Chains A and B, each alone.
Chain A
């Protein structure tokens, strides 16, 4: 089955700095890679996703890159703000079917004002 490794487990940055979270996956058949943000005491929310037919996707201050050859993908947050502080999860899966995504263990991002 799929195995997703996520690093770092904790990331501390100053407001305005950039933050990068990296994930690797093991199953070359995976073709859908979402990122979720979980604020304290709440359920995770999808913030951006990427499919295997593209290498990069951007939405305002967040972007995701995908390297299918190396089987890794990354979340980039620019100009971080205190409200970006949360736990971020990556996931990998195949589209369709029963759809059982495999999640990384999460990264706790702390943005210091």
Chain B
């Protein structure tokens, strides 16, 4: 069966520090992968999506970047965090019939 792993669960970082969040998927190949953010509320903001290795599409200009070095690995990064980067970050993959499967999320607090 397919599973998605996302870590860490919680992260507290100072302003100006770098960021690296990792997401891996097991049990499937060449999935569409997504990074979403929820900031101070409930809305799901799409940050990046990827349809294959090295293929990244950005939905919102921001302080973040994404990479897909391997088929089932998706990484969210920042060189210098801002206060506004705080939020709940979710990785997801697209299964059959357009069903999205989300990871457990990373709560990022930038202080």
Give the interface of A toward B (CB within 8 A).
Answer: 32, 34, 36, 38, 41-46, 49, 87, 89, 93, 95-96, 98-101, 103, 105-106, 108
Residue from B49, B98, B102 within 8 A of A44 (CB atoms): B102
From known contacts A41-B107, A42-B104, A43-B104, infer whether A106 and B98 are also in contact, taking CB-CB under 8 Å.
no
Bound-complex Cα distance A83 to B99 (A): 23
Interface string of B46-71 (1 = CB under 8 A from A): 10010100000101000000000000
Inter-chain contacts of A99 with B (CB < 8 A): 32, 94, 98
The CA-CA distance from A101 to B105 in the complex, in Å, is: 19
The reply to whether A41 and B42 contact each other, CB–CB distance below 8 Å, is: no
Q: Chain A: which residue is nearest B46 at the CB level?
A: A100
Total A-B contacts with CB atoms under 8 angstroms apart? 57
Of the residues A98, A101, A105, contact of B51 by C-beta under 8 Å? A98
| A105-B90 contact in complex given A43-B102, A46-B100, A95-B98, C-beta closer than 8 Å | no
Q: How many angstroms between the C-alpha atoms of A16 and B90 in the bound complex?
A: 32
Instruction: Provide the residues of chain B in CB contact with A87, threshold 8 Å.
Output: 42
Is B103 part of the contact surface with A, judged by Cβ < 8 Å?
A: yes
- Alpha-carbon gap, A49 to B90, bound state (A): 21
- Nearest-neighbor residue (CB-CB) of A45 within chain B: B102
